[in-house]
Amino acid sequence: MSRRRLMVVGPIGAGKTALLRALGLTSCSSKTEAISFCGDAVDTPGEFFEIPRFYHTLITNSARASTVLLVADPKRPVRFPSMFVKAMRGSVIGVVTKADLASEQELDRAARALQGAGVREIYRVSSVSGQGIQDLARRLGLEGQTP
């Protein structure tokens, strides 16, 4: 694969599509109902993460991405399968969204959940306020693409 493609995975309402918009990778604003390939982004429905029988679909499609962002919403506790990232084919970066709305305790809890899934590198961001987006974009090599 010659292109860098980014895939977002996480529960319903975690802000996956909003994150892709904030990174300048999609202009879509509607609910993702199926795996969507849009340029350099792969957007996945939260249901595919929340219903284990769909894990194989996420894992298979991770082969089409150079990087997978595993997204956690600090306002809604979620349990990630232990060492879930081992099944992903690309490198995996954890992203705690809604950093502008959550307490430090909620942010830490979300980060620990990502660590339990095997994530080693975690960013705290807000797609609304822009907090942390530039740092994540820089890490992903997307400087100059973010709005």
The residue whose two tokens read 């999609």 is 26
The residue whose two tokens read 């954890």 is 94
Average pLDDT over residues 32-48: 87
Buried-exposed string 67-103: b where 16+ CB fall within 10 A, e elsewhere: bbbbbbbbbeebebeeebbeebebebbbbbbbbeebe
pLDDT beyond 70 at 9: yes
Cα–Cα distances (Å) from 101 to 27, 71, 76, 146, in that order, read: 23, 15, 12, 21
Average pLDDT over residues 116-144: 94
Domain ranges of the chain: 6-139
Which residue did the predictor score with more confidence, 106 or 30? 106
**Average of per-residue pLDDT values in the chain:** 90
Best CATH choice for the domain 6-139 from the list 3.40.50.2300, 3.40.1180.10, 3.40.50.300, 3.90.79.10: 3.40.50.300
Task: Give percent above pLDDT 90 in the chain.
Answer: 76
